[in-house]
Amino acid sequence: MSDPEVLADRYELGDVLGRGGMADVHRARDLLLGRSVAVKVLRDPTGDESDRRRFTAEARTLAGLNNPGLVMVLDAGITHERPFLVMELVEGPTLGALCDRQPLDAARTRDLGAQVADALAYIHERGVVHRDVKPGNVLVGEGDRVKLADFGIARLIGDTVRHTQTGHAIGTAAYLSPEQVLGEDLTPAADVYSLGLVLLETLTAVRAYPGTPTEAALARLHRPPDVPADLPGDLRDLLTSMTAREAADRPSAAEVATRLRDAPEPGAAPVAAVPDEATRTMLLSQPTPVPTASAAGGASAIDRAGDALARQPAALAAAARRMPPHLRPVAAVGAAILLLIVVAGIASSTGSDGGTDPGSDTTPTPARTSPSGTPSTDASPSGTTSEPAPTTSSTPAVTPPAPGKEPKPPKDKGPGKGPGKGPKKK
Average pLDDT for consecutive 10-residue bins of the chain (426 residues)? Answer: 88 92 92 96 77 83 92 91 92 94 94 98 96 95 95 66 46 91 94 98 95 92 95 97 97 98 65 39 41 46 48 49 53 55 51 44 45 43 42 45 52 50 48
Under 8 Å between Cβ of 85 and 55: yes
User: How high is the pLDDT of residue 326?
Assistant: 53
pLDDT of residue 264: 73
Please state, in angstroms and rounded to a whole number, the distance separating the CA atoms of residues 138 and 198.
Answer: 10
40 is in an annotated binding site: yes
Nearby residues of 95 by Cβ (< 8 Å), 6 or more positions away: 112, 135, 136, 138, 139, 140, 146, 198, 202
Global pTM? 0.61
85, 91, 3: which is closest to 42 by C-alpha?
85
Judge contact between 309 and 317, C-beta under 8 A.
no
Calpha distance 95→134 (Å, rounded): 9
Residue from 51, 75, 118, 132 carrying the catalytic annotation: 132
Q: How many CA atoms lie within 13 A of 144 on its CB side?
A: 12
* Angstrom distances, CA of residue 2 to CA of 39, 139, 251, 283: 19, 31, 53, 83
pLDDT score for 232: 95
Give Cβ neighbours of residue 409 (< 8 Å, ≥ 6 apart): none
Residue environment code for 338-374, b if the CB has 16+ CB neighbours within 10 A, otherwise e: bbeebbeebeeebeeebbbeeeeeeebeeeeeeeeee
Q: CA angle, corner 83, sides to 78 and 84, nearest 5?
A: 95
Phi (first) and psi of residue 262, to 5 degrees? -90, 35
Confidence (pLDDT) at 341: 58
Q: Is 132 a catalytic residue?
A: yes
Domains of the chain: 1-89 (3.30.200.20), 92-264 (1.10.510.10)
Q: How far is CA 324 from CA 119, 233, 259, 264, 334, in A?
A: 32, 20, 19, 11, 15
